[in-house]
Amino acid sequence: MTPKEVLNMAKEEGAKVVDVRFMDFPGLWQHMTVPLRELTESTFEDGIGFDGSSIRGWQPIHASDMLLIPDADTAKMDPFYADPTLVLIGNIVDPLTRESYSRDPRHIAQKAEAYLKSTGIGDTAYFGPEAEFFIFDDIRFESGRQRSFYAIDSVEGIWNSGRDEGPNLGYKPRHKEGYFPVPPMDKFQDLRTEMLLVLEKLGIDVECQHHEVATAGQAEIDMRFKPLVVMADQLMWFKYVLKNVAQRHGHTVTFMPKPLFDDNGTGMHTHISIWKEGQPVFAGEKYAGVSQEALYGIGGILKHCKALCAFTNPTTNSYKRLVPGFEAPVNLAYSSRNRSAAVRIPMYSPSPKAKRLEFRTPDPSCNGYLAFSAMLMAIIDGIQNKIDPGDPLDKNIYDLPPEELAEVDSAPGSLDEALAALEADQEFLLKGDVFTRDAIDMWLEYKIENEVNPVKLRPHPHEFFLYYDI
């Protein structure tokens, strides 16, 4: 879409204002709104100024001025605002040099796509994330100096089977039994369908929606695969739509990987394929019908998985889900059907066009631009260096004898470990100037100072249960 076409679209849709959005470093959408008259064709070159020092992990106060350049191809009408609003996603540039900003996650993703093309391996990388989430009725939390708690509630929660609900009608999914009964056990069918239809109206192709395994409203809505940057844009729309549809019905959505104890966590199994000149690079005659390039790509993911987790599982809460022995995809192995392996080769279709890798370790707390870019860079590194992934692991990992299990490496056990792995293993990300040392250093610094250390310093509520009487 050209700037002129965007202006025509705004006129046809009756837009009164323009919302320009961008992704901050940790992974939340930010926005500013301007009157429609402020949007001209020149705005798509000149940009809109803002204070970069107020954005987490970005500019210092003495160099705060930045420009937000709207991308005409991203134009959509917002489905929630009271007044008709045109939405544009923007790219960040320096107002003096006009260079793209090294810490802009969307720019990093654009560079990853460009680097793939420059290698000759392929011209398009498709991503299909399965972002799970929870729908809750109530969430309260506090983290003070002398008091800390959280309290979650859901009409679907099995813990409410004995609550007086005037009347309590039962039909609450038991722990780990939410996949996937029909209503009345499934209380959120209509809500998820509304989410699906809003996404479709925005031009986001959806494949299905369903209840997930956990009690208390765990759910999944799957988007059809798209190129890297397009999918990262869509993932932001996805989170925005789900949260706002839930809120207007008195519910709340979270993408926290592990909000409930002793039930399934929330993952984001990510399907990845590379194509070149309209042909699937990952289809072939090797194991499970994939190509040698696909196997090398798997080798790259497995080799760099611990460093990848700093971007694909970037919260301290992520590692409440990634715990060995609890069916989490922590095992650094691959298989055609084994869902406890970090990488799976889906076998739903024999078509060469369906051949892809499914990286099962990530979760939806991630910044999609950074996570998808890091995954692609690991795959490229595997192909370039012909990294052998070893033999597939088609056995039930949880039935392996200790001596065999000891040979299977695991994903990091904490955000600390993942960040340390990234610090030690980042050269593959720096190729083609996709990730810069400046961006990686700031990511490490931000995560340690703002997330790792604050969690370490605070007493945990369960510690009082364990130790108060010592």
- Annotated catalytic residues are 51, 130, 132, 212, 220, 269, 339, 358, 360
What residue has token string 């990488």?
Answer: 343
In this structure, what token pair is assigned to residue 125?
A: 């990388």
Q: Residues 463, 464, 467, 470: what is their CA dihedral angle, to the nearest 10 degrees?
A: 160
Q: Is 106 exposed, middle or buried (0-12, 13-18, 19+ CB in 10 A)?
A: buried
Please count the CA atoms within 13 angstroms of the CA of 110 that sit on its side-chain side: 13
Residue type, 19: D
Torsion over CA: 160, 161, 165, 170 (sign): positive
Residue type, 300: G
CA dist 204 and 197 (Å) reads 9
Q: Which residues pair with 66 in a beta bridge?
A: 50
Torsion over CA: 406, 399, 173, 238 (sign): positive
CA dist 229 and 233 (Å) reads 6
In this structure, what token pair is assigned to residue 156?
A: 């679907």
Distances (CA, A) of 440 to 103, 116, 223, 436: 9, 20, 29, 6
For residue 335, which of 308, 298, 292 has the smallest C-alpha distance? 298
CA dist 317 and 212 (Å) reads 19
Residue type, 459: P
Distances (CA, A) of 186 to 179, 308, 341: 9, 35, 29
Q: In degrees rounded to 5, what are phi and psi of residue 140?
A: -130, 140
CA dist 114 and 426 (Å) reads 19
CA dist 369 and 87 (Å) reads 19
